[in-house]
Each structure stands twice: as C-alpha cells, then as structure tokens.
C-alpha cells in the first residue's frame, strides 16, 4: 500500500500546510517579527516613532537609530500584503506596504507644518449638510464640491451636532448671562465669553469679541465649537486664560482642491488616508486639552486678593489658585488635577482623563461601531478598530442618566434616646471632579424626610437644613429650611451678598461640593410620634436633586432627581 493510500486527502492537505508554515502555534504566540526603520525625507533616523500594523492595538517605538522590530502574531502574515504605519508628535503620519516575503521596510515621515495663518478659512460643518463656506472649486471637473467633515466622518458629525459642544453659541442661558455680563462687567474685565462659546469668531480678536454680535453674524456658518477648530489645536497652555487665549493652533492651507491635504491633529498615530494629512497629537486625548475651556478664572483688580486658604487649604500646592488673586469660574480641570495628585501611582484611576468619561461608549450606542469613517469611504479605505480605541463625539455631560450614575446614596437609621436617628451618606462614585462642577450656579440639594406609615412627617430636632438658596417661597420646589443639605460653590462680594455672578464676585464664601471619589455624611435627629411603639414602622426617604441654577422666582430649570432611597426603621447601611 503506497503512502497516498495510507493518508486521506484531508490529512495530506494539512501536511502540506504545515510544511509551508500556514499552520503554526496559536495566533496569540509571537512567532515572527518585521524589522525596519523610520526616517525623514533626507534619510535621517527618527527616534520614538510609534510603529504598528494599521488598526492593531500593539505598537513598538523606534530606537535612537530609528530602527524597530515589530512582533507578528503569526508567521503566516508574512505571506500577505498589509500596511504598517508610523507616527510621532510633530510629524505627519505615514505608512509603507509590507509585501509578501519581505522582512524589512522603511517608513518616511514628513514634518508637520507649525506656522499658523490667521486668514485660514476654517471649515464649517453642520449636521444639516455642507454649508457655503465649505465649497471649493474642483478644477478637474469644472464644478463646485463640498468639503465637510461629514463626507467621511458622518457618525461623528451627527454625534457632535446633537451635543452641547456643537451648539455652544445657541445656548439660551449663555446668551442671557452674556447680556447681563456686558452690562455689569468692570472696565478691566475682558469680553471673553466668545473665546470658548464661539471660538472661530474669537480667534480674530481674543478677549474682545462680542458674543451676541458674532452669533448673529455667524448664525448660518458656525453654531459652536467646530471640528476643524479642535483638530487644528497643536498645544494648550494650562492656566486660567479662557478658550482661544490658552491655545496654539496650526491653521494652514495645504492646497486648494477637493483632494488637497487637510491638516488634522488627532489621537491616532496610524491614520493615513488622503485627503486627511493626519498628525499624531496625544494632547487631544488628555484633560489638558479640555482645560482650555474648562479652566478659567476672573482676575481681581490690581492689588486685590481674597483669603483662598480658608476655603481651599490645598491652594498653596497648586499654581492655578494664583494665591487668591483670581475668582474660579470654570474650575473642572483643577478639580480633576487635585484628584489625580491625591492618587497613588498604582491606583486604578491614576491617569484617567476627561475623555474616558465624556467621550465614552454608552449602552444606548449599541451596536458599537468599529470605524471612524462611514459609507463608501469605509468600504474603500476604512480601518477596523477596537471600539475601546474610538472616541464617540456625544460629549455627555449633566444629563439625568449620567448624574444618576455619578453618586451613591446610603442611609442608616436607629431609634435611641426617644429619637429616630438618621445618617445619610452621599458618595461621589464616578465623577473625576467635584459634584456638581462647572458654572458656580450649579448645585445639589439633599432632602431627608422621616414619616409614619400614614405619611405624617416627623419633626427635625437636630441636624442640618437646606440653605435659603434652595428656595424660600411657596412653590412646591422651594426647599429652604427643610431637613437636608445644599452642595455648592458660594460666591460673595464686598457688600456681603452671596451667589453673585462670578464676574462680580470678590471671594468664594464656601465650597462644600463633593470631591472625586469621596463622600459627605450628615446626621439628623427626628422626634418620635406621640404614642409610638417599637413595632410601629417608620420610613426615611433621602432624595438628591441637581439644579443648574440657584432657586429664584425667575428660575425655569427643572429639578433632576439624581438618586432617591427609602428605608424602614432600623434598616439600611452606611
């Protein structure tokens, strides 16, 4: 019997595959590598460039001679053609194609332009479609063509367009506050609202742009913070300067046609696709990037300061407090920084950035997409990625679901000394900053109610009550004086007024907002009802409410219930 009869045809085929190297150890074992170098156009080596197969998570970094050795998960990959990219901050991403059988390659990078031209026509995008400012002449076809981020990044465009980030110039509350600000601001204070809320307009005149006028003149062009604006930011100077005053941009036209290179900074080192001239910039995935608009303060007049240490004992450790010469406005970055500085180097949350929470995936976004481009572009040149490496552009903020997930309410109760004693804990479990954060008008109210089985309330004999700014009128939502607490940053002026607009404030009176991953515990004593017996049931309910403004007769904002919990006497835990 010959060998052909001894081995079935299927086994013969497997033997052949083994001989050729197609069947190897499991895919996760490193069995081969690809070597090469990264150089500039003159052949000089580029160190510290990140090299990877486009779309893969694993990457290597070039040595001082520009060389790299990229492990391959399976040696069979050498029989295929695939792109290998290189990217480094300050350079344009580039790639080279690995050919079957090749073991080495050279990737050539080009320096990214650094010049900034104020006359660059910023590209304006809109979920409603391309706008006239985006039209460019397509000389090859003798017609006008639309340049719009949505041509390729359709999903991101619609996410951004429906977010507050895409409509910062349309925010009704901002416009109302701006009208008041221009009437009340001191002569030495900048007109800086547009620096964050309508930055493309403010770029022409930082600190002096009329937000209302700019919004009217640009209503059909820009509604807020544009894609092209954020992706042209090269550097951010972390400080208390607002918006465009804190950034360094690279606005440059790299051609005039539809397919001319379009410079864009981004968090990917392996995006290589015309007409995008992509440049890897890790800044875009950091909290420092967000600080340009979420860290600013009003500077007090020359020679003035306030007792910052009495409210913020940690102020001496952080330069952004400026020894009390500034009044915090948007202070979220500083709050995040204090949290990060308090963590041990090996802590789970060490290095967690704003984008990890505010550009993250939610269950409502299922099924998770794996491409950052859409349609025909995805079919022709899209790169499949792990969803964890993609940043959705919804910019989720203080919406009811996110607020509910940011805190945990806990209670414990006991009957002692003829009193119902209650302890309530409010823990900031998910926010990497204080709760609430942002504008100084944002506040939280904790309501604590003890009652009989018939619904009769018990009288508070000892414990905190909601401040007057929780509302002292006859409205159902006026909670001032009721058992509970208020959490807020309270501003003050020289006349003893509190909760004044931040541009008029000369001090911070108090700040009891809950720090990241910390808790507030408060205690309450209620008088037992007449005739109460040990087997009678009492109920305690704690409700935590969020408000974007302090309660006044003119307040229109609705309360958002963050958490609510009810326990019976003797139950619950803290």
**30 pLDDT above the threshold of 50:** no
- Residue 482's CB is within 10 A of a number of other CB atoms, namely 17
Cα–Cα–Cα angle for 166, 168, 169, rounded to 5 degrees:
115
| Helix (H) or strand (E) run with residue 213 in it | helix 211-217
Cα–Cα–Cα angle for 75, 77, 83, rounded to 5 degrees:
135
- C-alpha to C-alpha distance for 563 and 487, rounded to whole angstroms: 15
Matching CATH topology for 19-111 and 400-489+509-568? yes
- Give yes or no for a contact between 48 and 61, defined as CB atoms under 8 angstroms apart: yes
- C-alpha to C-alpha distance for 451 and 538, rounded to whole angstroms: 6
Give how far Cα 455 sits from Cα of 384, 451, 458, 461, 540, Å: 58, 5, 9, 18, 11
Residue ranges of the domains in the chain? 19-111, 132-389, 400-489+509-568
**23 pLDDT above the threshold of 60:** no
> Using the 8-state DSSP alphabet, how is residue 273 labeled?
B
Nearest Cα neighbor of 46 from 109, 102, 103 is 109
**356 pLDDT above the threshold of 80:** yes
The more confident residue out of 273 and 23 is 273
What was the pLDDT predicted at 559? 93
Average pLDDT over residues 455-468: 97
Helix then strand then coil, % of the chain, to nearest 5:
25, 25, 50
What was the pLDDT predicted at 79? 79
What was the pLDDT predicted at 361? 92
Provide CB contacts within 8 A for 521, sequence distance 6+.
423, 424, 425, 426, 574
- C-alpha to C-alpha distance for 469 and 343, rounded to whole angstroms: 34
Tokens at residue 272, please?
């290589």
- C-alpha to C-alpha distance for 98 and 106, rounded to whole angstroms: 10
Q: How confident is the model at residue 220 (pLDDT cuts 50, 70, 90)?
A: low
- C-alpha to C-alpha distance for 275 and 263, rounded to whole angstroms: 9
The more confident residue out of 562 and 101 is 562
- C-alpha to C-alpha distance for 426 and 123, rounded to whole angstroms: 45
Average pLDDT over residues 67-96: 91
Q: How confident is the model at residue 149 (pLDDT cuts 50, 70, 90)?
A: confident
Give how far Cα 294 sits from Cα of 201, 289, 329, 494, Å: 19, 9, 9, 27
Average pLDDT over residues 161-176: 89
**330 pLDDT above the threshold of 70:** yes
CATH of domain 400-489+509-568: 2.60.40
Cα–Cα–Cα angle for 327, 202, 217, rounded to 5 degrees:
125
Average pLDDT over residues 192-217: 92
- C-alpha to C-alpha distance for 484 and 176, rounded to whole angstroms: 31
> Using the 8-state DSSP alphabet, how is residue 279 labeled?
E
Please say whether the structural domain 19-111 has been given the CATH code 2.60.40.1120: yes
- Please give the share of the chain, as a percent, with pLDDT higher than 90: 71
- Give yes or no for a contact between 353 and 433, defined as CB atoms under 8 angstroms apart: no
- List the alpha helices (DSSP H) in 343-502: 354-358, 375-381, 400-406
Tokens at residue 320, please?
């952004």
Nearest Cα neighbor of 449 from 308, 565, 314, 306 is 565
């Amino acid at each position: 019997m010959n060998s052909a009869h001894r081995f079935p045809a299927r086994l013969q085929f497997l033997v052949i595959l083994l001989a050729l190297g197609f069947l190897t150890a499991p895919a996760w074992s490193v069995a081969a590598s690809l070597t090469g170098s990264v150089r500039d156009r003159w052949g000089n080596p580029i160190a510290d460039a990140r090299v990877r197969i486009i779309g893969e998570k694993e990457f290597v970094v070039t040595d001082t001679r520009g060389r790299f050795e990229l492990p391959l998960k399976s040696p069979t990959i050498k029989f295929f053609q695939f792109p290998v990219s290189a990217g480094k901050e300050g350079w344009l991403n580039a790639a080279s194609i690995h050919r079957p059988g090749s073991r080495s390659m050279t990737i050539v990078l080009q320096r990214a332009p650094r010049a900034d031209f104020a006359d660059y026509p910023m590209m304006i995008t809109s979920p409603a479609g391309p706008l006239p400012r985006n039209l460019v002449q397509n000389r090859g076809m003798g017609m006008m063509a639309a340049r719009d981020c949505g041509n390729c990044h359709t999903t991101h465009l619609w996410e951004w367009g429906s977010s507050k980030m895409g409509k910062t110039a349309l925010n009704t509350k901002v416009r109302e506050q701006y009208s008041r600000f221009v009437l009340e601001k001191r002569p030495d204070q900048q007109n800086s609202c547009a620096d964050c809320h309508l930055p493309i307009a403010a770029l022409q005149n930082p600190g002096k742009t009329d937000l209302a006028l700019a919004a009217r003149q640009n209503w059909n062009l820009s509604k807020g913070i544009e894609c092209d604006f954020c992706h042209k930011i090269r550097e951010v100077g972390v400080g208390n300067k607002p918006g465009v005053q804190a950034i360094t941009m690279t606005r440059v036209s790299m051609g005039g046609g539809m397919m001319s290179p379009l410079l864009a900074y981004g968090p990917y080192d392996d995006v290589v696709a015309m007409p995008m001239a992509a440049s890897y910039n890790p800044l875009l995935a950091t909290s420092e990037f967000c600080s340009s608009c979420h860290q600013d303060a009003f500077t007090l007049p020359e020679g003035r300061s306030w007792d910052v240490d009495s409210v913020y004992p940690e102020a001496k450790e952080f330069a952004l407090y400026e020894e009390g010469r500034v009044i915090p406005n948007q202070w979220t970055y500083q709050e995040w920084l204090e949290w990060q500085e308090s963590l041990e180097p090996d802590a789970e949350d060490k290095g967690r950035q704003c984008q990890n929470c505010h550009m993250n995936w939610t269950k409502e976004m299922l099924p998770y997409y794996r491409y950052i481009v859409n349609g025909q572009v995805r079919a022709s040149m899209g790169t499949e990625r792990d969803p964890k490496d993609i940043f959705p552009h919804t910019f989720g903020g203080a919406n009811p679901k996110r607020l509910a997930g940011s805190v945990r309410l806990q209670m414990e109760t006991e009957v002692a000394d003829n009193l119902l004693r209650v302890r309530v804990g409010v823990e900031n479990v998910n926010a990497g900053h204080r709760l609430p954060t942002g504008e100084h008008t944002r506040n939280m109210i904790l309501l604590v109610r003890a009652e009989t089985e018939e619904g009769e309330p018990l009288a508070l004999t000892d414990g905190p009550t909601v401040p007057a700014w929780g509302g002292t009128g006859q409205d159902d939502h006026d909670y001032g004086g009721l058992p509970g607490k208020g959490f807020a940053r309270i501003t003050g002026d020289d006349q003893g007024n509190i909760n004044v607009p931040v541009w008029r404030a000369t001090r911070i009176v108090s700040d009891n907002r809950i720090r990241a991953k910390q808790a507030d515990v408060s205690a309450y004593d209620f008088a037992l009802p007449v005739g109460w017996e040990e087997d009678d049931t009492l109920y305690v309910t704690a409700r935590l409410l969020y408000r974007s403004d302090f309660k006044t007769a003119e307040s229109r904002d609705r309360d958002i219930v963050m958490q609510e919990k009810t326990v019976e006497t003797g139950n619950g835990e803290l």
